[in-house]
């Protein structure tokens, strides 16, 4: 194991510098930059600073990963963020690591020799589950990929007492303890979540006490204002986590010596409490400790305080000189700029259904890419509730294909942490509806490339069975709802209508560099319309290229997924055929990006359009396409564009009811007639 500070001793000078730097920045922001209107979001770390500085001093392995929150500036300073960068970020200047795109305290930092500070989130509690992914990844790199440099590396997640009530905390706690992952939960308990006291967050106000009997969790609980006690406990907790025996949680009590943020007057605290909190400031205790232990003499300490203040003042001047970001760049970094090399060599393999096509592609890519991992509920021994991962655990082992705890927030958060660590996670969500608990992680994952100007990205492929099934539907297992994901920034969406496209699109997604949703329609998994010949182990389909299912000259139907076969059937039904043998059908194949050029070109040729999907009506993706056609090809239209979708009701269980709401062949044919007769 590489030598780490936790196994030696703390550098108290460096701890003191970090605390004093943080205090000096807080002071400048509060006294100068906020009053001048240069900083809007100001979060002081006063009171939290000493324990964070101690922690930061021993989180020093090059493969450590830290997930932090808005009060974590002292920790991040200890990891190498400069005071100048920090203040430039607070002022939204180009000199901050965010380049003005995000609030300065929503930290991230690529490793500067110590930990990687994973991109934080403004969502309280969202910092925890990515830490599971990082913790699992360091063990994967060491144990499976035999990279010894990862040995002893850990993940640490910093959070307040309020955050322990959030879903993400429990998602991470369960995953870390059930899998004995090297993750340290670092809980800074200041007794308040803004104004809400911690008895609302955990019964009896002490999360450590409540978790005392949690299996596989080592607990530390101490005063975080006493340098000796705090450092002893932090060092032990870090050392224990580095031993890879399992996760640890350390809870430290500290006062929040300022408002929650600058605008918070703390009117909810009594004058007595404010006095007690001030008397419990860790900084004078740190000074006393350093002098007593001969780290500084009193004279040296005083000189050191002035030296740090002078440094921070100089940093402020430089930060003030930092230019405003260039507005012409604001659209950059939404997606990866790296083109994906598309291999379209197509073989003529055996005929297979869509589900087998997915399974086979996963198998081929698992064999080719040792960094690819598949996980989710029931994907291991069972092979997935839809059978898409059958036998993959037997073939590739439990490190690469594994079950998870029942927490979609945890599954996607874990994938985010793994992606940051350099792996290619392929989580499965059992049914589209059950992605709902992961919304926060999905959203933060999609925006991270933009927020960090491509310093961080979390490419992954989320496989989601969706839509009505062969025999029936219902409100829980039959949702398609791709439109909601289309609204998520930074995500690509594939929605194949057959086995061949499934192979090609899945492979492109797995070799891509952006987070991608891969929809597997339940009515196509094992039905004739989904079956196609296997196109080979290298076959890829580019995103954003629609497939012309049938050519025509009188009307264009744009659709995707299971509606493709219905559109074909409708166009060939007596109504469709009598009126026009010439309906053009475009299968979009990917919703993001969607093939605008192909759609517009087709409509300029046919002059009539129907946009068809099974998602529910309001704001679904057909509306987006209609709006684009209206804006860009209005003069070519000979009839109003028709939209076809499910009305705004859930998918019913009863088949008769279900067929009454899903766009069916007859209904599509009727609309074809209407458009052609207009
Ligand atoms: C999901 C979510 N809900 C609410 C908020 C608003 N909010 C921001 S900070 C905060 C309190 C968090 O308290 P705690 O975790 O104890 O950290 P502290 O600020 O005390 O350090 C709240 C409610 C948020 N950012 N995210």
Only one residue has tokens 């990862």, namely 150
Each residue's pLDDT tens digit, 125-142: 999 999 999 999 999 999
- What is the domain class of 547-677 according to CATH? alpha beta
Identify the residue whose C-alpha is closest to ligand 1 atom 11.
Answer: 193
Asked if 130 and 118 touch (Cβ cutoff 8 Å), the reply is: yes
Each residue's pLDDT tens digit, 116-175: 999 999 999 999 999 999 999 999 999 999 999 999 999 999 999 999 999 999 999 999
Architecture of the structural domain at 351-533:
3-Layer(aba) Sandwich (3.40)
Q: How far apart are CA 597 and CA 583, in angstroms?
A: 18
Identify the residue whose C-alpha is closest to ligand 1 atom 20.
Answer: 193
Predicted local confidence at residue 574, as pLDDT: 78
Is 63 among the residues known to form the active site?
A: no
Q: How far apart are CA 413 and CA 130, in angstroms?
A: 4
pLDDT band at 578 (very low <50, low <70, confident <90, very high): low
Asked if 495 and 550 touch (Cβ cutoff 8 Å), the reply is: no
Delimiting residues of CATH 3.40.50.970 domain(s) in the chain: 5-318, 351-533
Identify the residue whose C-alpha is closest to ligand 1 atom 21.
Answer: 160
Instruction: Give the H/E segment covering residue 192.
Output: strand 192-193
Chain centre distance of CA 50:
30
Identify the residue whose C-alpha is closest to ligand 1 atom 4.
Answer: 124
Predicted local confidence at residue 95, as pLDDT: 96
Delimiting residues of CATH 3.40.50.920 domain(s) in the chain: 547-677
Cα(111) to centroid(ligand 1), Å:
26
Each residue's pLDDT tens digit, 191-215: 999 999 999 999 999 999 999 999 9
**Which of 194, 251, 268 most suits a substitution to test ligand 1, by most atoms within 8 Å of the C-beta?**
194
CA dihedral 466, 468, 472, 477 (to 10 degrees): 30
Each residue's pLDDT tens digit, 486-528: 999 999 999 999 999 999 999 999 999 999 999 999 999 998 9
What is the average per-residue pLDDT within 639-651?
97
Q: State the DSSP code for 157.
A: E
pLDDT band at 183 (very low <50, low <70, confident <90, very high): very high
Instruction: Give the H/E segment covering residue 556.
Output: strand 555-559
Cα(221) to centroid(ligand 1), Å:
22
Predicted local confidence at residue 573, as pLDDT: 83
Each residue's pLDDT tens digit, 63-104: 999 999 999 999 999 999 999 999 999 999 999 999 999 999
Predicted local confidence at residue 278, as pLDDT: 96
Q: Are strands 461-466 and 196-197 parallel, antiparallel or unpaired?
A: unpaired
Predicted local confidence at residue 9, as pLDDT: 82
Q: How far apart are CA 236 and CA 326, in angstroms?
A: 46
Cβ neighbourhood burial of 265 (10 Å; 0-12, 13-18, 19+): exposed
Asked if 553 and 603 touch (Cβ cutoff 8 Å), the reply is: no
Predicted local confidence at residue 7, as pLDDT: 52
Each residue's pLDDT tens digit, 654-664: 999 999 999 99
Which of 385, 459, 375, 379 lies closest to 410, judged by CA? Answer: 375
The number of the ligand 1 atom at minimal distance from the alpha carbon of 122 is: 25
pLDDT band at 579 (very low <50, low <70, confident <90, very high): low
Handedness of CA 202, 176, 237, 58 (dihedral sign): negative
Cβ neighbourhood burial of 321 (10 Å; 0-12, 13-18, 19+): exposed
Q: What is the CB < 6 Å shell around ligand 1?
A: 71, 122-125, 159-163, 190, 192-194, 256, 260
Each residue's pLDDT tens digit, 213-239: 999 999 999 999 999 999 999 999 999
What is the average per-residue pLDDT within 246-261?
97
pLDDT band at 62 (very low <50, low <70, confident <90, very high): very high
DSSP helix/strand/coil, 586: strand
Q: Are strands 372-376 and 196-197 parallel, antiparallel or unpaired?
A: unpaired
Answer yes or no: is pLDDT of 1 > 50.
no
Identify the residue whose C-alpha is closest to ligand 1 atom 12.
Answer: 193
Answer yes or no: is pLDDT of 605 > 50.
yes
The number of the ligand 1 atom at minimal distance from the alpha carbon of 260 is: 19
Task: Indicate yes or no: pTM above 0.85.
Answer: yes
Average pLDDT of the chain is 96
Each residue's pLDDT tens digit, 316-331: 999 999 999 999 999 9
Size (the chain), residues: 678
**Which of 47, 67, 69, 193 most suits a substitution to test ligand 1, by most atoms within 8 Å of the C-beta?**
193
Question: Does domain 5-318 fall into CATH 3.40.50.970?
Answer: yes
Predicted local confidence at residue 577, as pLDDT: 58
Of the candidates 98, 477, 487, 521, the residue annotated as catalytic is: 477
CA dihedral 233, 235, 238, 243 (to 10 degrees): -110
Answer yes or no: is pLDDT of 8 > 80.
no
**Which of 22, 120, 124, 441 most suits a substitution to test ligand 1, by most atoms within 8 Å of the C-beta?**
124
């Amino acid at each position: 194991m590489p030598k780490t500070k936790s196994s030696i001793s703390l550098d108290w000078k460096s701890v003191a510098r970090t605390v004093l730097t943080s205090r000096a920045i807080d002071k400048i922001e509060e006294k100068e930059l906020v009053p001048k209107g240069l900083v809007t979001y100001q979060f002081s770390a006063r009171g939290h600073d000493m324990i964070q500085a101690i922690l930061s001093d021993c989180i020093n392995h090059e493969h450590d990963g830290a997930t932090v929150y808005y009060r974590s500036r002292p920790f991040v300073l200890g990891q190498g963020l400069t005071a100048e960068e920090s203040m430039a970020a607070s002022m939204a200047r180009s000199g901050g690591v965010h380049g003005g795109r995000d609030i300065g305290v929503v930290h991230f930092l690529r490793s500067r020799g110590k930990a990687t500070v994973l991109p934080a989130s403004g969502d309280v509690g969202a910092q925890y589950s990515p830490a599971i992914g990082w913790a699992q990844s360091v063990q994967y790199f060491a144990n499976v990929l035999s990279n010894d440099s990862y040995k002893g590396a850990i993940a640490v997640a910093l959070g307040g007492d309020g955050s322990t009530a959030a879903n993400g905390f429990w998602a991470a706690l369960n995953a870390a303890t059930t899998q004995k992952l090297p993750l340290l939960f670092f809980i800074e308990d200041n007794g308040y979540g803004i104004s809400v006291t911690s008895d609302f967050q955990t019964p009896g106000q002490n999360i450590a006490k409540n978790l005392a009997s949690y299996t596989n969790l080592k607990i530390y609980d101490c005063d975080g204002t006493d340098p000796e006690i705090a450092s002893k406990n932090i060092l032990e907790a870090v050392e224990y986590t580095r031993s890879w025996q399992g996760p640890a949680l350390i809870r430290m009590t500290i006062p929040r010596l300022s408002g929650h943020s600058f605008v918070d007057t703390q009117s909810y605290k009594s004058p007595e409490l404010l006095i007690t909190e001030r008397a419990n400031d860790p900084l004078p205790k740190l000074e006393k400790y350093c002098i007593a232990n001969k780290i500084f003499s009193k004279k040296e300490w005083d000189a050191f305080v002035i030296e740090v203040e002078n440094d921070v003042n100089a940093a402020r001047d430089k930060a003030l000189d930092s230019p405003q970001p260039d507005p012409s760049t604001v659209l950059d970094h939404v997606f990866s700029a790296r083109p994906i090399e598309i291999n379209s060599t197509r073989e003529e393999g055996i005929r297979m259904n869509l589900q087998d096509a997915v399974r086979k592609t996963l198998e081929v890519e698992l064999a080719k890419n040792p960094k690819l991992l598949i996980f989710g509920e029931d994907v291991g021994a069972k092979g997935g509730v839809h059978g898409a991962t059958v036998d993959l655990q037997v073939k590739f082992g439990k490190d690469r294909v594994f079950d998870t705890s029942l927490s979609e927030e945890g599954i996607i958060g874990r994938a985010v942490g793994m992606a940051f660590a350099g792996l290619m996670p392929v989580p499965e969500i059992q049914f589209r509806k059950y992605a709902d608990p992961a919304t926060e992680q999905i959203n933060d994952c999609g925006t991270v490339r933009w927020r960090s100007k491509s310093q961080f990205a979390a490419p992954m492929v989320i496989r989601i069975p969706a839509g009505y099934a062969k025999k029936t539907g219902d409100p829980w297992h039959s949702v398609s709802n791709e439109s909601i994901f289309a609204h998520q920034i930074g995500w690509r969406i594939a929605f194949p209508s057959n086995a061949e496209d499934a192979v090609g699109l899945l492979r492109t997604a797995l070799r891509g560099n952006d987070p991608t949703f891969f929809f597997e329609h339940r009515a196509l998994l094992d039905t004739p319309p989904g079956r196609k010949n296997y196109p080979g182990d290298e076959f890829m389909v580019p995103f954003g290229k629609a497939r012309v299912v049938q050519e025509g000259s009188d009307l264009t139907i744009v659709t995707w997924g299971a509606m493709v076969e219905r559109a074909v059937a409708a166009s060939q039904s007596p109504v469709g055929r009598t009126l026009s043998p010439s309906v053009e059908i475009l299968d979009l194949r990917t919703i993001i990006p969607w093939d605008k050029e192909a759609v517009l070109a087709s409509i300029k040729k046919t002059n009539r359009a129907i946009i068809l999907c099974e998602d529910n009506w309001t704001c679904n993706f057909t509306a987006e396409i209609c709006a684009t056609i209206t804006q860009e090809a209005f003069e070519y239209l000979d009839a109003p564009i028709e939209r076809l979708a499910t009305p705004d009701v859930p998918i019913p269980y009863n088949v008769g009811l279900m067929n009454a709401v899903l766009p069916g062949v007859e209904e599509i044919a009727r609309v074809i007639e209407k458009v052609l007769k207009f």
